[in-house]
């Protein structure tokens, strides 16, 4: 069972004052595709390189198949990696590239030839076996890099932003190919990307990283719907979640947030209101609607429609609400909108998220709201 376990894994580079990766703890199950997602510099690639054995581990334990491998060199970890730049050996043919690792592992020639031919056939590289990498297109190089990993039949596959050098169309088809590959091989895979579409579509689970720390780990839809903090909420989703500053008060029954002239009773908060100083209210652009009149159970915001962007399937409106904050509203593509007028935007209370403005932690959300009500009943 190729289970990869990270326990308080940290990395500090020479002469750095802070950890590049800070106490990352995570267990990746056998056959799982785990995606490390985050902006550049968040430590996701460094974490991957530590798992690969290309970067030393400053502290913490890394175990593969329950066996600590901190001091085991890369070549003995039974791991294969696909690099962002593909890293194909330019002086070797495709055949040579595919077989290079096997030759080192003293697999016999007939067996190497058989495995290379087989992998080449599944990846559609059979015609290209005698070409050098420079004579291949980007997509073909990518497949060779993939083949080089598959041919070794490793316990764990590592992918370091493997699609970022491909054009948009090829990226989409290769992404689907990768998903099928994962289904077929059933191998443990760790996939690093900064592209949320790749993360959402490929990952069994997503590990969001921010400044060297794990921000949240969970299934794609769970992370999307229940962000643990402001960073996750803002990072996932395009266009990103709207965030508004709110004043926290009380109407005698419970805490009330005042947002852009409207007030929302917060049904539940994870922390007592007394300890809160400032809060932020967030909602996803697709949850907001343009309405004619405010209704109960919605947060209604009045503002000026500044910009209308028609993307075909959907139309995104930019609304400037009081205090100059701009919010985005995602509506169906054929919505009749004209920039310039005053509009009313309504967001159901259930679709609001509440964040502590100081710590960025989620302190209330629709999900929590519902749950609490259920508990109360």
DSSP 167: -
Distance of closest approach, residue 192 Cβ to other proteins, in angstroms: 14
Q: Which helix (H) or strand (E) holds 309?
A: strand 298-310
Residue from 26, 29, 52, 129 in contact with other proteins (CB under 8 A): 52
Closer residue to other proteins in complex, CB, 58/325: 58
Examine residue 81 and tell whether it contacts other proteins (CB under 8 A): yes
Sort 142 into a burial class: Cβ within 10 Å, 0-12 / 13-18 / 19+: buried
Examine residue 75 and tell whether it contacts other proteins (CB under 8 A): yes
Nearest of 67, 32, 48 to residue 187 by alpha carbon: 32
How many residues at the interface with other proteins, by CB under 8 A? 26
Distance of closest approach, residue 54 Cβ to other proteins, in angstroms: 5
Residues 101-120 that bind other proteins (CB under 8 A): 101, 104-105
- Terminal Cα-to-Cα distance of the chain (whole angstroms): 43
Neighbours of 247 (CB within 10 A): 11
Phi-psi region of 323 (alpha: psi -120 to 50; beta: other; left: phi over 0): left
Distance of closest approach, residue 181 Cβ to other proteins, in angstroms: 18
Query: Burial letters for 191-207: b for 16+ Cβ neighbours within 10 Å, e otherwise?
Result: bbbbbbebbbebbebbb
> x/- contact string, 266-305, with other proteins (CB under 8 A)?
----------------------------------------
Region from 16-24, 38-46, 74-82, 204-212 binding other proteins, contact rule CB under 8 A: 74-82
Phi-psi region of 76 (alpha: psi -120 to 50; beta: other; left: phi over 0): alpha
Residue from 83, 211, 273, 290 in contact with other proteins (CB under 8 A): 83
Contacting residues toward other proteins, per CB under 8 A = 49, 52-54, 73-75, 79-81, 83-87, 89-91, 100-101, 104-105, 132, 134, 148, 152
């Amino acid at each position: 069972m190729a289970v990869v376990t990270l326990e308080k894994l940290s990395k500090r580079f020479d002469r750095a004052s802070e950890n590049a990766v800070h106490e990352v703890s995570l267990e990746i199950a056998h056959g799982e595709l785990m995606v490390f997602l985050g902006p550049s510099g968040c430590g996701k690639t460094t974490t991957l390189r530590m798992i690969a054995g290309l970067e030393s581990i400053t502290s913490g334990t890394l175990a593969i198949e329950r066996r600590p491998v901190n001091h085991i060199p890369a070549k003995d970890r039974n791991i294969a990696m696909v690099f962002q730049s593909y890293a194909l050996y330019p002086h070797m043919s495709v055949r040579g590239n595919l077989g290079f690792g096997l030759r080192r592992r003293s697999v016999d020639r007939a067996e190497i030839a058989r495995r290379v031919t087989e992998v080449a056939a599944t990846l559609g590289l059979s015609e290209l076996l005698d070409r050098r990498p420079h004579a291949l297109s980007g997509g073909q190089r990518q497949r060779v890099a993939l083949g080089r990993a598959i041919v070794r039949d490793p316990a764990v596959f590592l992918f370091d932003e493997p699609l970022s050098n491909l054009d948009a169309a090829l990226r989409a088809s290769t992404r689907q190919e990768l998903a099928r590959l994962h289904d077929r091989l059933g191998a443990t895979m760790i996939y690093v990307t900064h592209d949320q579409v790749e993360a959402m579509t490929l990952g069994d689970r997503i590990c969001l990283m921010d400044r060297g720390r794990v921000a949240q780990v969970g299934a794609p839809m769970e992370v999307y719907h229940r962000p643990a903090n402001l960073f996750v909420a803002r990072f996932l989703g395009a266009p990103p979640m709207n965030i508004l500053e709110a004043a926290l008060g009380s109407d005698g029954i419970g805490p009330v947030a005042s947002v852009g002239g409207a007030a929302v009773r917060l049904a539940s908060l994870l922390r007592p209101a007394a300890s809160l100083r400032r809060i932020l209210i967030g909602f996803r652009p697709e949850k907001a609607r343009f309405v004619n009149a405010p209704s109960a159970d919605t947060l209604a915001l009045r503002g000026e429609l500044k910009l209308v962007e028609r993307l075909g399937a959907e139309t995104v409106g930019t609304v400037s609400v009081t205090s100059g904050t701009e919010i985005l509203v995602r509506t169906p593509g054929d919505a009749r909108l004209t920039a310039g007028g005053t509009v009313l935007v309504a967001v159901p209370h259930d679709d609001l998220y509440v964040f502590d403005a100081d710590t960025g932690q989620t302190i209330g959300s629709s999900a929590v709201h519902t749950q609490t009500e259920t508990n109360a009943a």
